[in-house]
Structure 1
Amino acid sequence: MDITRKNNIHVCGNTDAFQTIVFSHGFGIDQTSFSAVVPSFEKDYKIVLFDNVGGGKADITAFSPKRYEGLSGYVTDLADIIQQLSLEHITYVGHSVSGIVGVKASIQYPGLIDKLILLGSSPRYLNDPESGYIGGFDKHALNDLFAAMENNYHAWAIGFSKLTMRNEDRPELAAAFAATLEAIRPDIAILVAKAIFYLDCRQDLEKVTIPTLVVQTAEDIAVPPDVSEYLEAHIPNSRRTKVQTHGHFPHISAPREVVAAIASFL
């Protein structure tokens, strides 16, 4: 399958630039979520955008439950995109779970990525009382979440969008997120959501060898501050910055702050 069609890849910006920025979206949204961020980097960087299989305008026939029941399929997809487009000198910006995809790709494919930017990412969403780790969810909360998805996906998408987007004074943001969620086949959304919320990648963090920026919002129901502090403490050569907006999607709700954070790191 042609990878450009498979992942709905778009290359823009300065295609002759020495450095490349690869933007990768999180669960329930697509590459258009970076539309307010990309223009600030188009003059000086080659920009690569794509949709993860199962969402956006990626080829739905490429979706396989076996391949995407964990993160390994997405890690391989990312490596394939970078290698087949012959991309070099890459800063990878991964939102939410795609940040962890970048973490894993940087470990499994040394030299593939030069810098990592983790935007609202988490190595584990489930609390681990034995170790004292706070991920933000307990087993009961996740069971309720998946039951809601299975019982009435439409109602769940609307409610989940409001909880995670926040910014109640701009309801159009949550409405837009709900629309992209509802565009995903419910069976695919449930499978991918389980892969995300049950992941535990804490053991990978110490293996990261490239400069890493951790971006935390002021209040994120999916990724509490404890998580970003954990990432900074366990990823060598990392630093953390906070953007003053609420919700799980700072690149949508506060793009100028995210642009400033990325530009400073670059």
Structure 2
Amino acid sequence: MDLQRRHNVHVSGSGDATLIFSHGFGCDQAMWRFLLPHFAQRYRTVSYDLIGAGGSDLSAYDPHRYGELWGYAADLNALIDRFAEGTVMLVGHSVSAMIGALADRLHPGRVAAHMMIGPSPCYIDHDGYVGGFSRTDIESLLDTLDSNYLGWSSTMAPVIMGAPGEPALGQELTNSFCRTDPDIARHFARVTFLSDNREDVAGLPTPTLILQSTDDIIAPPAVGHYLHEVLPNSQLAIVPNIGHCPHMSAPSACAAAMDAFLANRVGHHVGR
């Protein structure tokens, strides 16, 4: 199948740089609708659905290929090769921030910058590392997903979204979770929440913006500070926001932080 149809790719805008937007678990590219018009005025923008999400080709979902985040990273590099022009910069929400980092590791020098929104290299606490969850917490979450995916989605999506003043956003995320094929969602949840990409991100030289909410149940502040310490060319921007999706609940603040970061990036050409 054509790559554009496989990932439901949408391209808009124009400019000397390409921004590729990659969504998080349980979401699809519609979650970028508050930011895309802002950046399409100055950049070529590419949004797509991870295989298994949104309008992607569900028949392309291979549990073996997508049993690790590297499969999604390989997809992202294929999309870069096909749709990106000029300087390439990645905007990744949640797990897609790590997918972008892995894509960078697979093809060093291709990506000029990362903008990571609510990223986490590891969700489970380890000695000296705070991920926000114990191993028991994650196993309990996954067990609930296995036994009652729709019930879990209805309960957890509004909590993940946060945005107490905008309940419609919580309902939107709930609907997005519930549209996802339950078997694919369960598998992707295990891949996501059991992943540990700390060694993969440590020392990554690519300039990176870490954009984090002040109150995020999925990626607590300690995670953002950890990434800022291990990514040598990183900036940490804290957005006053409750929830894991500031690009939806605080889009103006996100856009401002991203604009400030991008002002130093465009024109630094990275060869294909």
TM interval, shorter chain, is over 0.9
| Equivalence for 2:214 | 218
| Equivalence for 1:47 | 45
Structure 2 residue 143 is the aligned partner of structure 1 residue 141: no
Deviation (angstroms), 1:5: 0.5
2:8 counterpart letter in structure 1: N
2:99 counterpart letter in structure 1: V
Deviation (angstroms), 1:73: 0.8
Return 148-157 or 72-81, whichever deviates more: 148-157
Residue aligned with 1:117, SS:
strand
Q: TM-score, normalised by structure 2?
A: 0.94
Q: TM-score, normalised by structure 1?
A: 0.96
| Equivalence for 2:26 | 28
Aligned residue-pair number = 262
| Equivalence for 2:3 | 3
Distance in 2 (CA, whole Å) between partners of 1:79 and 1:67 is 15
Pick from 80, 86, 90: which aligns with 1:88?
86
1:9-44 C-alpha deviation (Å, 9 max, x unpaired): 000012xx1111111100111111110111111121
| Fraction of identical pairs, as percent | 36
Pick from 162, 168, 174: which aligns with 2:164?
168
1:68-119 C-alpha deviation (Å, 9 max, x unpaired): 1110110000000011225330111000000011111112101221000110
Contact 1:107 1:207 survives alignment (8 Å): no
1:2 counterpart letter in structure 2: D
Return 217-226 or 80-89, whichever deviates more: 80-89
4+ residue runs over 4 A deviation: none
| Equivalence for 1:239 | 235
Deviation (angstroms), 1:210: 1.2
Residue aligned with 1:4, SS:
helix
1:224 counterpart letter in structure 2: P
Deviation (angstroms), 1:173: 0.8
Distance in 2 (CA, whole Å) between partners of 1:40 and 1:218 is 23
Residue aligned with 2:195, SS:
coil
Deviation (angstroms), 1:251: 0.4
1:216-240 C-alpha deviation (Å, 9 max, x unpaired): 1010000000000000000111110
Distance in 2 (CA, whole Å) between partners of 1:97 and 1:171 is 24
Distance in 1 (CA, whole Å) between partners of 2:189 and 2:123 is 11
Structure 2 residue 155 is the aligned partner of structure 1 residue 155: no
Distance in 2 (CA, whole Å) between partners of 1:143 and 1:43 is 44
Distance in 2 (CA, whole Å) between partners of 1:86 and 1:168 is 37
1:181-223 C-alpha deviation (Å, 9 max, x unpaired): 1111111101100101111111112341211110110100000
Residue aligned with 1:65, SS:
coil
Pick from 119, 122, 147: which aligns with 1:121?
119
Residue aligned with 1:248, SS:
coil
Pick from 164, 177, 180: which aligns with 1:184?
180
Contact 1:117 1:212 survives alignment (8 Å): yes
Deviation (angstroms), 1:142: 1.1
| Equivalence for 1:201 | 197
Distance in 2 (CA, whole Å) between partners of 1:230 and 1:253 is 24
1:241-263 C-alpha deviation (Å, 9 max, x unpaired): 10011100000101101100110
| Equivalence for 2:60 | 62
| Equivalence for 2:247 | 251
Measured on the aligned residues, the alpha-carbon RMSD in Å equals 1.0
